Amino acid sequence: MFRLDEKIWFWTLLVIPVIIVLFLLLQLWRRSAQRKFADSDLLKRLSPNQSLFKSILKVIVLCAAFAFLSLALVNPKIGTKLETVRSQGVDIVFAVDVSKSMLAEDIAPNRLEKSKQLVTQIINSLASDRVGIIAYAGKAFPQLPITTDYASAKMFLQNMNTDMLSSQGTAINEAIQLAKTYYDDKEQTNRILILISDGEDHAGDAIDVAEEANQLGIRIMTIGVGEAKGGPIPIKRNGVVLNYKKDNKGETVITRLDETTLKEIAEETNGLYVNGKNTSEVVEAIKSELDKMDKKEFESKQIADFKDQFQWFLGLGILLLFIDIFFLERKTAWLKKLNLFNENF
């Protein structure tokens, strides 16, 4: 099998016709200039060693050198063998709380940004597991379906903000209900829902919904983001704090991390609760649990192992350039004996 890495470098081959055109123009100019100086017989006597063949050969060598250097830039690759690659893992759905309470800055830089950091680092630690993302506040919204495209997952994750859902509040039950529809493989036994939140459950029936999820084989791991002492919810414009969210009585709202609810949800599904304060500890705890689980084979495919071949073309190109540099346009003794062009010496 054969593959070209950087086909755009084929455009450098246009240098070759430019060299040929310049050579022809140079020969025409030289002929014209020589005729003004003397006739052809006298020129042959004055410069008997001048060879048109050597000039043409120099141009051919130079063009060949540029051709090989262009091929080196294109980087041809040859497939040496076929390898069968099997993808194994579990389905992991991340449900990220995007309610206004996640703007509290009791954990730096704020709860939502910390949640994004945690999910990103967990994804970075995965190998071939499939991931999906849900955003939720008063309602849940599918952000990314189950996929193995980690780059897309992190891109969608970074675009999440507290303004993406008009329905405010924190309805954890809605996130769990939506997560049930994410697992498209009925034979998949290890289904993981990682729920990231400050734990404030305004709907109140998250435990019951978690029990239903457990019956479907879904394990819920919860990550608490925030501090128990809590913090106010800033109202910002252009990064500047204008005020803090207030309740109906005009008092500043203090939002606190509710670990109790998150722990109960995790226990109901034989899952795990982790405090999200230390990112490395969260990633290690989640990874440890995932490593204990049986992996399901998602897909197997054959891929070719390609090896670079640019070095051969680069070496030939440089060699021809050196040959061209030391090539003289004068006739040599052996060439005179051959008399390829029936030249009169």
pLDDT value of residue 154 = 93
Identify the pLDDT of residue 58: 83
3 state SS of 132:
strand
The 8-class DSSP code of residue 251 comes to: P
**Is the per-residue pLDDT at 90 higher than 60?**
yes
Q: Residue-wise over 269-284: b if at least 16 C-beta within 10 A, else e?
A: bebbbbbbeeeeebbe
Return the minimum-mean-pLDDT range out of 209-218, 238-247, 269-278.
238-247
- pLDDT given for residue 31 in this prediction: 75
Is 154 found in the same domain as 251? yes
In a domain, 81, yes or no: no
**Does residue 177 sit in the same domain as residue 59?**
no
Question: Per-residue pLDDT for 191 more than 70?
Answer: yes
- The verdict on residue 158 lying in a domain is yes
Q: Domain of residue 8: give its range.
A: 2-75+309-338
pLDDT at 223 (0 to 100): 95
80 lies in some domain: no
Encoded tokens for 91 = 């389905």
What are 272's two structure tokens? Answer: 């795990």
C-alpha 265/C-alpha 71 separation (Å) is: 60
Total of domains in the chain? 2
Q: What is the pLDDT of residues 45-61, one digit of tens each?
A: 655 556 666 778 888 88
Q: Tell me the pLDDT of the chain averaged across its residues.
A: 82
Other Cβ atoms less than 10 A from the Cβ of 265: the count is 29
For residues 338 and 288, what is the distance between their CA atoms, to the nearest angstrom? 80
Shared domain for 47 and 180, answered yes or no, is no
Cβ density class 120-148: b for 16+ within 10 Å, e for less: bebbeebebbbbbbbbbbeebbebbebee
Asked whether residue 241 is domain-assigned, the answer is yes
Q: In 3D, which of 121, 106, 123 has the Cα closest to residue 199?
A: 106
Give pLDDT tens digits for 137-173.
888 999 999 888 899 999 999 999 988 887 777 788 8
Q: Do 250 and 155 share a structural domain?
A: yes
- Is the pLDDT confidence value at 329 over 70? no
Residues 259 and 331 in one domain: no
pLDDT of residue 45: 60
Tell me whether residue 193 is in a domain.
yes
**Residue 345 domain flag:** no
Classify the C-alpha dihedral 120-121-122-125 as positive or negative: positive
Whether residue 307 is predicted with pLDDT greater than 90 in this model: the reply is no
Residue 336 has a pLDDT of 53
Which of 147-151, 176-180, 185-189 is predicted with the least confidence, judged by mean pLDDT? Answer: 185-189
Across the chain, the runs of DSSP E, i.e. the strands, are: 2-4, 76-89, 91-97, 130-136, 140-147, 191-197, 218-224, 231-232, 234-237, 240-244, 254-255, 272-275, 296-308
In a domain, 268, yes or no: yes
Residue 152 CB coordination number (10 Å):
13
The pLDDT value recorded for residue 111 is 94
How many whole angstroms separate alpha carbon 77 and alpha carbon 306?
Answer: 6
Beta bridge partners of residue 90, listed in sequence order? none
pLDDT score of 42 more than 50:
yes
**Tokens (6 digits) for 283:** 């990633």
Q: What is the SS3 assignment for 285-320? A: HHHHHHHHCCCEEEEEEEEEEEEECHHHHHHHHHHH
Place of tokens 């194994």: 88
pLDDT one-digit tens code per residue, 96-106: 999 988 999 99
Percentage of the residues of the chain whose pLDDT score is greater than 90: 29
Pair 152, 263 in one domain: yes
Does 315 share its domain with 242? Answer: no
The residue-averaged pLDDT of 208-215 equals: 89
Whether residue 189 sits in one domain with residue 326: no
DSSP state of 182: T
Is beta strand 240-244 parallel, antiparallel or unpaired with respect to 234-237? antiparallel
CATH number at residue 231: 3.40.50.410
Whether the CB-CB separation of 232 and 254 falls below 8 Å is answered with yes
Element housing 71 (H / E): helix 52-74
Question: Could you tell me which of 159, 256, 249 has the C-alpha nearest to residue 198?
Answer: 256
Do 53 and 140 fall into the same domain?
Answer: no
Q: Are residues 231 and 322 in the same domain?
A: no
| Residues 307-313, mean pLDDT to the nearest whole number | 82
Name 247's Cβ contacts closer than 8 Å, sequence gap at least 6. 253
Q: What per-residue confidence (pLDDT) applies to 338?
A: 54
Q: What is the pLDDT of residue 7?
A: 84
% residues pLDDT > 70 (the chain) = 81
In this structure, the answer to whether residues 98 and 49 fall within a common structural domain is: no
Residue 211 within a domain: yes
pLDDT computed for residue 157 by the predictor: 92
Are 55 and 98 contained in the same domain?
no
Which pLDDT belongs to residue 345?
A: 45
